A = this chain, B = another copy of it.
Amino acid sequence: MDMIDYITPFTSTVDLQTGIIGDAPLIVTRRLSDVRGLYADAQAEAALVSDNPLTYEVYYGYNSPEVEGQLGYCTTIIRPGEVGDEYFMTKGHYHAKADRAEVYYGLIGEGYLLLQTPEGKINIQEMRAGVVAYVPPHWGHRTINVGSENFVFLSVFPADAGYDYKTIAEHGFASIIVEREGRPTVAPNPRYQVK
């Protein structure tokens, strides 16, 4: 047998009040200026540019090597807020290795998980603390804070999944989640480009 280069087991601790992984080796923050063009209402987006709110953060608990068999994990903290009537959300992506799945576990607040096949078929799952959501292979996925507090969840994904942000950036999701009469509502995305 070849010598195995063992990785030493370790733990991370998620702050249960905030969702922050205190010793996260990799942190991504997305202000509105980092996601220009993401929201359907360009005027509303432009009006918020000077304020440039923080919309979400991702705390990676493990800077995992992109190796088959290993896993990555992170917490995502999406702030409450809207651009026009569209709730704050992540950019969303497919996996570069499209057949890689992902598991989400809801920790704090209320969110929607918006999924889409490359052909534009939409699926929506509701998330809150204690809900495990399965992102099957091949589905693009975006998360949306539809509540009034932070929406926080833990993600676990194959470390070799990779990210395809380009397809979403070019085509968008076929649906958007907007506030109508105080409630989250699924609406057609006026800027969706059929692939």
Contact = CB atoms under 8 A, between A and B. Distances in A.
Contacts of A46: none
A115 B16 contact: no
Nearest to A1: B118
Interface residues of A, number: 51
How many protomers of this protein does the assembly include? 2
B158 A69 contact: yes
Contact of A15 (B12, B21, B130): B130
A62 interface: yes
A70 B157 CA distance: 9
Contact of A103 (B4, B127, B135, B156): B156
Interface stretch (A35-43, A93-101, A142-150, A166-174): A93-101
Given A73-B103, A100-B69, A105-B105, A6 B130 contact: no
Given A130-B14, A154-B105, A9 B135 contact: yes
A47 B9 CA distance: 36
Contacts of A48: none
Interface in A102-159: 102-103, 105, 113, 115, 117, 121, 123, 125-127, 129-139, 154, 156-159
B101 A134 contact: no
A11 interface: yes
A71 B138 CA distance: 13
Interface of A: 4, 6-16, 21, 61-62, 68-71, 73, 97, 99-103, 105, 113, 115, 117, 121, 123, 125-127, 129-139, 154, 156-159
